[in-house]
A and B are shown apart, each in its own frame.
Chain A
Amino acid sequence: STIVLIFEAPKDFNFNLKPGQKIHFGEAVGSL
């Protein structure tokens, strides 16, 4: 199964992620 998030945000939105990384619920995806 997969979860896909699609959202609008200002241009300075930054992801705190690396492709392939393991993530847990509650951990940061990104912010402004």
Chain B
Amino acid sequence: LHAASTNLAVKVRPLYVLLGTGGGYAGYKQYESYKDSRLEKLGIEIPPKLAQTWEVALYKTVPTRLLSRAWGRLNQVELPTWLRKPVYSLYIWTFGVNMKEAAVEDLHQYRNLSEFFRRKLKPQARPVCDSHSVISPSDGKILHFGRVKNCEVEQVKGVTYSLESFLGPQTWTENQLQKTSFQDQLVTQDGNELYHCVIYLAPGDYHCFHSPTDWNVHHRRHFPGSLMSVNPGVAKWIKELFCYNERVVLTGGWKHGFFSLTAVGATNVGSIQIYFDRDLQTNSPRYSKGSYNDLSYITNNNQDGIVMRKGDQLGEFNLG
């Protein structure tokens, strides 16, 4: 009995240590966020607390791509009809989905969660604004917007990432060697500025995206990458998050010069589909992190690329 109890103590102790340190760390983080929210309520601006290098490295060791693909497979399993309503109702309740604007309101019609996630909207649910030249391509929350300064873009206020790392080297147009910075290389007309806007799509949001303006898409660049969460809390915590994650960058031109739209994937929403690009395959094990794959939509027979009108359907995010 004594020997057995000694063995048990040896076996259990590391678990206690792990639980104790993990719980302590989580508690400390909770206390920090509570303290910050109190200060914010008092109107005191708090500089973002960025993750340490080791924290980012640790997060990167989590097999997010594998988890995402497993999640995707699970959600492609056809649910029995009797189970559909309770499963989707739980999702609707958890993430505040407005089913009244869905093209198909009957929950039994969606064979699995993946299909439900890709649901379309009623045609009249989202009127496209005529009076503004740039519209929102999707439903979501505005994380940040403004001018691009010093080749740095902000994922949330005060947390930046490199424009060049995000878009990759500028090879899709004639190289402009006389221009010094990457930012200047993108600006085609004198007196123009470079602007950016970041829209976060929450799990309950409509996850298709549309053309934000009248433009011609000339080039696609697919960056296979990690699939870390991109929720605003993580975007505030991990610098360069959008440069680590899997993404599809569409670049081209509009009436004022350079225009680009980038779809950034996340753990649950790992794959991105572009309707006019059947060759694009995202969150696929055949691509390794850190590389990128280019495709030009400009050919000898088509010098305009893909012509998109404001509000046209462009693509969608998928589960896993």
Q: Which of B26-34, B44-52, B131-139 contacts A (4 or more CB under 8 A)?
A: B131-139
**Docked-complex contact A6 and B191, CB < 8 angstroms:** no
**Docked-complex contact B193 and A32, CB < 8 angstroms:** no
**Docked-complex contact B256 and A29, CB < 8 angstroms:** no
**Docked-complex contact B129 and A1, CB < 8 angstroms:** no
Task: Mark contacts of B223-250 with chain A using CB atoms, 8 A cut-off: 1 yes-contact digit, 0 otherwise.
Answer: 0000000100001000000100000000
Closest chain A residue, CB of each to CB of B194? A8
The residues in A between 7 and 32 inclusive whose CB is less than 8 angstroms from any CB of B are 7-11, 13, 15-32
Residue among B144, B163, B208 with the highest chain A CB neighbour number at 10 A: B144
Complex: A16 Cα to B136 Cα, angstroms? 11
Complex: A2 Cα to B234 Cα, angstroms? 12
User: Smallest CB–CB gap between A9 and chain B, Å?
Assistant: 5
Interface size on A (CB < 8 Å)? 30
Q: Which of B129, B135, B196, B272 contacts A6 (CB 8 A)?
A: B196
Could you say which residues of chain B place their CB within 8 Å of the CB of A4? 153, 166, 196-199, 242, 261-262, 264
Could you say which residues of chain A place their CB within 8 Å of the CB of B192? 8-11
Q: Is B110 an interface residue (CB 8 A)?
A: no
Q: A19-B145, A24-B126, A26-B135 are in contact. Are A2 and B199 (CB under 8 A)?
A: yes
Closest chain B residue, CB of each to CB of A27? B136
**Docked-complex contact B132 and A16, CB < 8 angstroms:** yes
**Docked-complex contact B199 and A13, CB < 8 angstroms:** no
Q: A1-B207, A3-B264 are in contact. Are A23 and B187 (CB under 8 A)?
A: no
Could you say which residues of chain B place their CB within 8 Å of the CB of A11? 191-193
**Docked-complex contact B311 and A26, CB < 8 angstroms:** yes
**Docked-complex contact A10 and B132, CB < 8 angstroms:** no
Q: A7-B260, A29-B212, A31-B133 are in contact. Are A2 and B195 (CB under 8 A)?
A: no
Q: A3-B263, A11-B193, A19-B143 are in contact. Are A27 and B256 (CB under 8 A)?
A: no
Complex: A24 Cα to B89 Cα, angstroms? 22
**Docked-complex contact B206 and A2, CB < 8 angstroms:** no
Q: A28-B132, A32-B133 are in contact. Are A5 and B212 (CB under 8 A)?
A: yes
Could you say which residues of chain B place their CB within 8 Å of the CB of A8? 186-189, 192-195, 256-259
Complex: A4 Cα to B265 Cα, angstroms? 11
Complex: A8 Cα to B163 Cα, angstroms? 13
**Docked-complex contact B201 and A2, CB < 8 angstroms:** yes
Complex: A18 Cα to B264 Cα, angstroms? 22
Could you say which residues of chain B place their CB within 8 Å of the CB of A20? 141-143
Q: Is B167 an interface residue (CB 8 A)?
A: yes
Complex: A21 Cα to B186 Cα, angstroms? 28
B interface residues, Cβ below 8 angstroms from A = 126-129, 131-146, 148, 153, 157, 163, 166-167, 186-189, 191-201, 206-210, 212-213, 230, 235, 242, 254, 256-266, 269, 272, 311, 317
9 contacting pairs across A/B (C-beta < 8 A): A3-B201, A6-B148, A6-B196, A7-B195, A7-B260, A8-B195, A19-B145, A29-B197, A31-B134
